[in-house]
Amino acid sequence: MKDFIYNEMMVHVPLCTHKEPNNVLIISSNSAGFVQEIQKYKYDDINCDVISADINLLREVADDKYDVVISELETDAAVLAHFNRVLNEEGLLVTVHPSLGDVPENKKIMQILGKYAKIIMPYNLGNGKTALLASKEYHPTADIILQRTDLLDGLEYYNCDIHPAAFATGNNVRKEYLGIIKN
The per-residue pLDDT for 44 is 78
The per-residue pLDDT for 42 is 83
Instruction: Choose among 95, 94, 85, 46: nearest CA to 65.
Output: 85
Q: Does 183 have pLDDT greater than 80? A: yes
> Residue 2 — pLDDT band, cuts 50, 70, 90?
confident
Average pLDDT over residues 51-75: 97
Q: For helices 77-86 and 103-113, what crossing angle results, to 10°?
A: 30
Q: Does 96 have pLDDT greater than 70? A: yes
31-56 per-position pLDDT tens digit: 999 999 999 998 778 999 999 999 99
Three-state secondary structure string covering 20-85: CCCEEEEECCCCHHHHHHHCCCCCCCCEEEEECCCHHHHHCCCCCCEEEEEECCCCCHHHHHHHHH
Q: CB neighbours (10 Å) of residue 73?
A: 21
> Residue 86 — pLDDT band, cuts 50, 70, 90?
very high
125-180 per-position pLDDT tens digit: 987 899 999 999 999 999 999 999 988 999 999 999 999 999 999 999 999 999 99
Contact 90, 18 (CB under 8 A): yes
Strand order in the sheet with 130-135: 47-51, 23-27, 66-71, 87-96, 130-135, 119-124
Q: CB neighbours (10 Å) of residue 165?
A: 12
3-state secondary structure of 4: helix
Buried b (16+ CB within 10 A) or exposed e, 83-104: bbbbbbeebbbbbbbbebeeee
Residue type at 141 in one-letter notation: T
Q: Does 72 have pLDDT greater than 80? A: yes
The per-residue pLDDT for 157 is 95
| pTM for this model (two decimals) | 0.96
60-64, 88-92, 127-131, 166-170: segment of lowest average pLDDT: 127-131
> For the chain, what is the mean pLDDT?
95
